[in-house]
Structure 1
Amino acid sequence: MKKPVYLDYAATTPVDPSVAEEMIKYLTPDGIFGNPASRTHAFGWQAEAAVETARRQVASLVHADPREIVWTSGATEADNLAIKGVVAGRTGVHVVTSSIEHKAVLDTCKWLEQHGVEVTWLAPDREGRIRAGQVLEALRENTVLVSLMLVNNELGCINEIAEIGRLLREHGVLFHVDAAQAAGKMPVDVSRMPVDLMALSGHKVYGPKGVGALYVRRSPDVRIEAQIHGGGHERGMRSGTLPTHQIVGMGKAFLLAQDGLEAEMAELENLRETFMSGIEGLSGVTVNGSQDCRVPGILNLSFDGVDAESLMLGLRDLAVSSGSACASATIEPSYVLRGIGLSDEQAHRALRFSFGRFTTKEEVAFASSQIVDVVSRLRAVR
């Protein structure tokens, strides 16, 4: 069977070979396999040193202090830790988020609502962005947290996080940002944005699955309640034995992302232009989300007269998505696309194409030609 062309990098990225090579050093008997929390022998000391090196590498990509990085099992746990950790033990408080956040934020905020927390759900504009003015209008005296993503996982559009962050800093409201789709795909600087809590993912940046991190600002200290207890690891914010090999992998992946960020962004933009040039003769194609404020690697398109499920069945040689991988168990139209004003019918016609480090121009040219052929064929038999 011919291997499909992978254009679903927003769902997950393959582990970079050099990352995998580094990780294996921390698994086997002749490697550094000790428990980083074991302080009485060299096996533990070496593992702890590796974890701290990775902590510095992750912090460096987002311009944070290494002491502000808390290891988690992924961005979903980091989002939960941030949001629940701020609200825990407080009554009569108010949280602001948007209706098109990742499920890790949406479901967490819905859970808070069930437990007495007031939540304001902001509606994005047609481009899929939340504006600072909307956030300002939503603030109340009892607002303790605003949670918004930096880059939308279905649209690729970028929120004006820096402006919102400055606004919230003036009002003394904590700001949590899900940056799973942003780190390694655009410059991220937590001091300039500014934010208080930021969720990061390993597997979106050519690292392993099952590891992530939460940035927790230290100056002044942001206080959050732990959600996992049992040993007081990670300065009491997240207990559990640290998976050294995964953490080392995430650190190496973030180091590679930092070193190659500018060149990779330029290459992804070239791939996007090649793809769009290949389908320019196809009528009835709409780009969903902002065409200006976006990362280059994510492209969401609607095709008039063709539903996404039929199109994906016809595109057997392409691996693409009709929405977020975290919502793929449902046949409902994308809540993100409906959130920016698309009808159910329009949302059902949309596909997400996402390019990455190992995508080639030949693959993109092949993909665009396949799309033109299949869309044309499906329209002809309507």
Structure 2
Amino acid sequence: MAPIYLDYAATTPCDPAVIARMSAFLGEEGAFANPSSAHGPGQVAAQAVARARAQVAALINAEPEGLVWTSGATEANNLALLGALRLARARGRGGQVVTGATEHPSVLAACAQLEREGVKVTRLFPDAGGVIAPEAVAAALRDDTALVSLMHVNNETGAVQDVAAMTALAHAAGALMHVDAVQAAGRLPIDVTDWGVDLLSLSAHKLYGPKGVGVLYRRARPLLRLAPLVHGGGQEQGLRSGTLATHQIVGMGEACALAAARLPEEAARLYALKTRLREGLLALGAVQLNGPEQGAPHILNLAFGCVHGEALAEDIGAQLAVSAGSACSAVSGKPSPVLRAMGVPDALAHASLRFSLGRGSTERDVDAAVEIVSRAVHRLRACSPLWRDFQAGASLRALYAGDRDHGLV
């Protein structure tokens, strides 16, 4: 029997409608031509690319001409940060970037590269719920701040940042605003026009589209210029050279159209499932919520006290597909940098699981997940001295006080 899949924040399956749309652009009988070609078949492909661009733009209320196709959100994030700062520095500006300590690894790595190039990077730490206060952004801004880069929804905890407020602060200081909106797309409304953001990253495979394609939105009016990372034939207004992958692009367009149509109902359904899952697992006792009470509708991160994290993951792994931290950084084997930045002690971070719900998730899946995790936790706690101490009245704060305690409740 296949494991119950509760790792939709890591990736999602392609929607059948997406697969059907992509298939029409692959074979000999399909519209497989190069969309940059001037002949008839090429223009058919070009029209399909334009339609997909409009579909993605509609999901985020953007001008279609502001979208740049990329290989995914990692490339989009790199193009946003490196492209904006390198151009600014070529013009004698761009001394500082402000970002969060809980950002996606692609943002943090791009910021580290900018540091090597001489840019000052200020990393802001969140509160215990994973939220960065707008006041912290305001305090970090300087006269030479070129860019603020903060994600809308955290990929590990589901914490939601106040993008509109932070954008206003950035603009008041003369800085650009970049938002990684990968985990928000299809789960929460995104409105680049209302927010006023200058740059925003999306990934297709996080919203039931194909892997290998994403988008960077850049403000179209007035046009925001960036330094390209890839040079060649000048596609995508010179920002991202290379033959466009029509089949992947139309797949992302179809996925975004479906996400927009289903968003309100699906978000409400996921919130209900998340609440059911949270309440079921918190009933175990000695379980800490890593993140806000509400947050994004699909992500739940919990620390299971008084158990060994690796043993817990091994115990449930054959029955339940969940993540210990983020799939994008899990290979390191180290405690989650996101949870550490929130003040979670290392031992609890190691014993934390991220559950992420999606279109295929049902109440039956959630109830089964509660049962699977509960059985594993009970087995592991049966031989745990920490559990005996907890039952005798010790708090999680006291039990983990010697392990980087930064405000456990």
So what's the TM-score if we normalise by structure 1?
Answer: 0.97
Letter in 1 for 2:274: R
1: CA distance between counterparts of 2:145 and 2:275? 42
Q: Which amino acid aligns with 1:75?
A: A
Corresponding position of 2:55: 57
Q: Which residue of 2 aligns with 1:341?
A: 343
Work out the CA distance in 2 between the residues paired with 1:307 and 1:338.
Answer: 17
Residue of structure 2 in register with 1:303 after alignment: 304
When the two structures are aligned, how many residues end up with a matched partner? 379
Residues 336-378 of structure 1 deviation map (CA, whole Å, 9 limit, x = unaligned)? 0000011111211110000001112111111111111110111
Q: Residue 117 of structure 1: CA displacement?
A: 0.9
Cα pair distance change 1:280/1:193, threshold 3 Å:
same
Amino acid at match of 2:33: G
Q: Could you tell me how far apart the structure 2 residues matched to 1:95 and 1:332 are?
A: 26
Deviates more, 1:162-171 or 1:98-107: 162-171
Distance 1:297 1:309 in 2: 24
5 Å-filtered alignment, 1:143-158, equals: 143-158=145-160
Give, as a single letter, the amino acid of the residue that structure 1 aligns with 2:144: N
Alpha-carbon distance in 1 for matches of 2:251, 2:378: 43
- 1:379 aligned onto 2:381: yes
Q: Partners of 1:153 and 1:123 in 2: how far apart?
A: 16
1:300-319 deviation digits (Å, cap 9, x = unpaired): 00011113221111112000
Mapped partners of 2:351, 2:262: distance in 1? 35
The residue number in structure 2 matching 1:27 is 26
Amino acid at match of 1:336: V
Distance 1:344 1:14, change over 3 A: same
Give the distance between the partners of 2:85 and 2:308, measured in 1 at CA.
41
Superposed counterparts of 1:298-337, under 5 Å: 298-315=299-316, 316-337=318-339
Letter of the structure 1 residue corresponding to residue 131 of structure 2: R
Find the residue that maps to 1:128 and give its secondary structure: coil
**Given residue 35 of structure 2, which amino acid in structure 1 is its aligned partner?**
P
1:280 shift after superposition = 4.5
Could you tell me which residue of structure 1 aligns to residue 14 of structure 2? Answer: 15
Assess if the C-alpha contact under 8 Å between 1:307 and 1:350 holds in 2: no
Q: How does 1:144-293 map to 2 (within 5 A)?
A: 144-292=146-294
CA contact (8 A) 1:51 1:248 kept: yes
Which deviations, in whole Å up to 9, do the C-alpha atoms of 1:239-291 show, x marking residues without a partner?
Answer: 11110000000000000000000010011012112223433531111111111
- Asked if 2 retains the 8 angstrom alpha-carbon contact of 1:74 and 1:209, the reply is yes
Counterparts of 2:309 and 2:356, CA distance in 1: 16
Distance in 2 between residues matched to 1:233 and 1:101, nearest whole Å: 29
> CA–CA distance in 2 between the matches of 1:281 and 1:77?
41
Gaps (5+ residues) in structure 2? 385-409
Question: What is the distance in 2 between the residues matched to 1:308 and 1:28?
Answer: 47
Q: Deviations over 1:213-243 (max 9, x none)?
A: 0000012221111110101111111111110
Q: State the shift of 1:168 in Å.
A: 1.6
2:107 corresponds to 1:108: no
Distance (whole Å) between structure 2 residues aligned to residue 25 and residue 318 of structure 1: 35
The one-letter code sitting in structure 2 at the alignment partner of 1:3 is A
1:175 Cα deviation from its structure 2 partner? 0.5
Match for 2:25: what amino acid?
A: Y
2:78 to 70, 77, 80: 80
User: Residue type of the partner of 1:359?
Assistant: S
Whether 1:118 and 2:116 are equivalent positions in the alignment is no
Which residue does 2:41 correspond to in 1? Answer: 43
Q: Is the 8 Å Cα contact of residues 143 and 173 (structure 2) preserved in structure 1?
A: no
Question: Does the CA-based 8 Å contact 2:290-2:301 persist in structure 1?
Answer: yes
Q: How far apart are the structure 2 equivalents of 1:313 and 1:347?
A: 16
Structure 1, unaligned runs of 5 or more? none
Q: Residue type of the partner of 1:307?
A: H
Contact 1:13–1:204 (CA<8 Å) still a contact in 2?
A: yes
Verify the 8 A CA contact 1:71 1:214 in the aligned structure 2: yes
Q: Helix, strand or coil for the counterpart of 2:347?
A: helix
Partners of 2:197 and 2:228 lie apart in 1 by 19
Structure 1 runs (4+) greater than 3 angstroms displaced: none
